[in-house]
Structure 1
Amino acid sequence: MKHRYTITALLFLLLLAGGFVLLVTSFLGREGSFEALLKSVAQDKDVTAFLDQAESAVNEDLDRDHLFIQLYGGVQMLSGRRVIQDMVEDNSVAKLSTGALNFVNLGTQSQPGEDVIARARKTAEFADALEASDIPFLYVAAPQKIQRGAELLPKGLEDNGNAYCDAYLAELKWLGVDYFDLRPLFESNGIYSSWFFSTDHHWKPEAAFFAWQHLAKLMDDRYGFVTPSRFTDPANWNKTVLEDYFLGSQGKRVGSLYAGVDDFTIYTPKFETNLTYASQSGGFERTGPFQHSVCFPERVEEWDWFGGNPYTYYSGGDYGLATMTNHKNPNGPKVVLLRESFSCALAPFLALSCSELTTIDLRSFSGDLTETIRALDPDLVITLYTASTTKLDNMFEFCKTE
């Protein structure tokens, strides 16, 4: 009799937990493992099998749907809280007045000072070292998620990224280093916040395409590297929008209920392309049209907010050193792009302007940067960063200018 009561209690608890999971998985719009198990039991009448599998099914659903993150974010949304603190300071998330998310550092933030001048001078030394080998250098300042002059953060928080970038570019100008500031273009074309994902710190593929259009024009005007206008014409590209498909790095920390999810756009050229994309550190070599070589369709095959990263559809991710060879443009320039994650979305488009585009991500690179670039013998070296002190320091760590 006692054994029977124990089984009954266990069954009741599993059904109670399972009912909660059923509610959540139903809310999230898909059948969970527990729901599938219940249907199987209803058909086979096998209670023993249900008891054997119910606990693991409930646990699988809880893990899969990141239930506790979702519930926590939902509660914070209902309470109107605009800052979600993380154990790691830089990973704390704030909700901007636009409704979008942004990483914030809750520690003390200093205004740009002598460190800006020092880093600009290091950049100038690096550019001079390349110029000694007849290799031109261009620094490209990528736009940041918070627009210059906009007060979007909760009261008491500040972001000095744009102030740092302004000071850094001013010093580069004084030192005679060639640079291109993308921020004014983004500020004067459309709604600035629409260039960025709501739940991620990166720009959207639409923004990367827009940046490429203007970078291609600049490469023509300043360096004589011509990109056929039909390539940069949006009319010659198909756009497929995957709706509610992307939960970015900021959104993954607070769940989809807190600030929603993002659409994700797939660009496919209507014109013929043929590229090879290879990386020894990444362990791959891919040859074929744009959408199967420099893009990774396998990254968007399944909808998975927490486990997937559709942003890596473009370029596949961050690799120490990788090369995109454009077989349709053998007479185009050879370009080296010193990059960070913003360039994931940009590099496949930029490769169409080149015969060969070599990307170097210094977070995963080892070796002497200057000597590596000299061995590649490019026609142009581009650094595209949001002006972050850490990223600039990485560049100086790996280059020797003596």
Structure 2
Amino acid sequence: MNRLFIKKFITAVLFLIFLFIFSFLNIRANYKTIKLAVEKTESSSLKEYILNIEHNVNENIYGKYKFIEAYGYVQKLMDKNEFSNFEVVKDTEGKLHFTYFANKPNPTEQLVAKLKDFQRNIKSPKTKLLYLMTPDKYIKGYTKFPKGIPYDYSNETADQFLNQLKLQGINSIDLREGILESGIKREDLFFNTDHHWKIETAFWGFKKLVKDMNKKYSLQLDKDNFYTDINNYNIIKYDNVFIGSMGRKTGKYYADADDFSLIYPKFKTNYDFNFENNFMKGTFIGRFEEALVGVNPIRKYDVYGSHGIIADKYFSYLYGNQPFAHIHNKQNSNGLKVLFIKDSLAVPLISFFSTTCSDVYLIDPRYYKKDALDFINNTQLDFVVVSYSPQDLVDEFFKF
């Protein structure tokens, strides 16, 4: 009996020592990050404030990715196609996805009604509303899930939504159309470990957007096909340097790191880029790659982007999702003035699209606290482009 008690006592003491050492290392490594989060976090309620602080603490746990990697490696050895109770799943090509169980498309009637009301409240008849549908990682005609893996009907939801927009007289462009004929290898359209498209695919989306807008609105955007010619851009490829949003949940041993390409113009460019969020205020001036691209994530070998969103290589373009941002292209003073109300998939596409414009404004409805209509009705704009990917056709994004 005494021997059993001694064993339990020693185990408890060792566990407490481990907790003390781990807590000390955690505080030592992440004190500045947590302190900044405490100082900068803004919320309307104490509960939301505490949740935001807790999120930052959890995201910066000492050795976090070592624990994730160990668990992910065990899941890979077991040849599992789902991770953490279907939080992340794997398709037959080994690409990771976010999904959920569903048996039909989500209802979208209310979303369409909100967008229609939004259109009615745009005062200037010269400002046109356009919906831009970016592609889902689950590509119809290509992506397949193993038996037992759920499909969330995102593409069917998007089809339904676009059909309803057409009935309401709202123009749309669907970048899912033609993606399999884009000339990009099908396995290279999206990152393996992230829900975003690759930068090459985003450039193709920019090219298709220009072509479709010219056709739909009788425009002459890039009439010489100069800005949309990939041969006029530098492409720097980095091998095995990026793990995206899904891979950060599974670790690099469950799904291998992705390659990443930085694409930027060879031709002369000159920009002003301004944005502001809860953590930083940025004003960047210069060439495309100086003003619109954060080079630190590219240069730093940090596959997880563990130093915050600014270290996420996908978000090297435009420094990620900002509540509000303004791109002014000094090389094209007579170009279009466009507002994008968007999610993260549109970020690199908008970067390239800015070459054809005079001014591009960006609003992310998840973080923008002001009235978007008030901005629109007090700003000279040619287009308001609303762009959410199929999985983001939810109330959170339609705060009009």
> Same fold by TM-score, threshold 0.5 exceeded?
yes
Matched residue, 2:81: 82
Distance 2:225 2:386 in 1: 24
Matched residue, 1:310: 313
Distance 2:273 2:393 in 1: 25
Distance 1:164 1:368 in 2: 27
1:250 offset after TM fit, Å?
0.5
1:76 offset after TM fit, Å?
1.2
Distance 2:175 2:143 in 1: 20
Distance 2:397 2:126 in 1: 20
Matched residue, 2:269: 273
The within-5 A match list for 1:215-234 is 215-223=209-217, 224-227=219-222, 228-234=224-230
Matched residue, 1:239: 235
1:128 offset after TM fit, Å?
2.8
Distance 2:220 2:117 in 1: 25
User: In 2, are the aligned partners of 1:327 and 1:355 still within 8 Å (CA)?
Assistant: yes
TM-score under structure 1 length normalisation? 0.77
Residue number among 120, 129, 132 corresponding to 1:140 in the alignment: 132
Distance 2:337 2:286 in 1: 20
Distance 1:154 1:130 in 2: 46
Matched residue, 2:180: 187
Matched residue, 2:357: 354
1:199 offset after TM fit, Å?
0.3
Distance 2:237 2:344 in 1: 21
Distance 1:391 1:151 in 2: 20
Amino acid of the structure 1 residue aligned with 2:89:
A
Matched residue, 2:190: 196
Amino acid of the structure 2 residue aligned with 1:375:
N
User: In 2, are the aligned partners of 1:325 and 1:357 still within 8 Å (CA)?
Assistant: yes
Distance 2:137 2:187 in 1: 7
1:67 offset after TM fit, Å?
2.2
Matched residue, 1:57: none
Matched residue, 1:393: 395
Q: Is it true that 1:319 corresponds to 2:328 in the alignment?
A: no
Distance 2:344 2:289 in 1: 19
1:70 offset after TM fit, Å?
1.6
Partner SS, residue 336 of structure 1: strand
Mean Cα displacement is larger for which, 305-314 or 318-327? 305-314
Distance 2:65 2:324 in 1: 34
Distance 1:193 1:175 in 2: 36
Partner SS, residue 230 of structure 1: coil
Distance 1:193 1:330 in 2: 39
Partner SS, residue 178 of structure 2: helix
Residue number among 373, 376, 380 corresponding to 1:373 in the alignment: 376
1:305 offset after TM fit, Å?
1.6
Matched residue, 1:67: 66
The within-5 A match list for 1:88-127 is 92-105=87-100, 108-109=101-102, 111-112=104-105, 115-127=107-119
Matched residue, 1:293: 291
Residues 308-328 of structure 1: per-residue CA shift (max 9 Å, x gap): 411111111111110000000
Q: Is it true that 1:206 corresponds to 2:200 in the alignment?
A: yes
Distance 2:176 2:202 in 1: 13
Number of equivalences: 331
1:218 offset after TM fit, Å?
2.2
Unaligned runs of 5+ in 1: 1-61
Distance 1:128 1:290 in 2: 35
1:336 offset after TM fit, Å?
0.2
User: In 2, are the aligned partners of 1:133 and 1:374 still within 8 Å (CA)?
Assistant: no
Matched residue, 2:170: 177
Instruction: Provide closer, same or farther for how the CA distance between residues 193 and 134 of structure 1 changes in structure 2, counting only shifts above 3 A.
Output: same
Larger-Rg structure = 1
User: In 2, are the aligned partners of 1:332 and 1:355 still within 8 Å (CA)?
Assistant: yes
Superposition RMSD in Å: 2.2
1:127 offset after TM fit, Å?
2.1
User: In 1, are the aligned partners of 2:207 and 2:228 still within 8 Å (CA)?
Assistant: yes
Q: Which has the higher helix share?
A: 1
- Could you tell me the percent identity over the aligned residues? 29
Amino acid of the structure 1 residue aligned with 2:151:
E
Q: Is it true that 1:384 corresponds to 2:384 in the alignment?
A: no
Unaligned runs of 5+ in 2: 1-60
Instruction: Provide closer, same or farther for how the CA distance between residues 302 and 396 of structure 1 changes in structure 2, counting only shifts above 3 A.
Output: closer
User: In 1, are the aligned partners of 2:123 and 2:377 still within 8 Å (CA)?
Assistant: no
1:192 offset after TM fit, Å?
3.3
User: In 1, are the aligned partners of 2:134 and 2:388 still within 8 Å (CA)?
Assistant: yes
User: In 1, are the aligned partners of 2:69 and 2:251 still within 8 Å (CA)?
Assistant: yes
TM-score under structure 2 length normalisation? 0.78
1:125 offset after TM fit, Å?
2.3
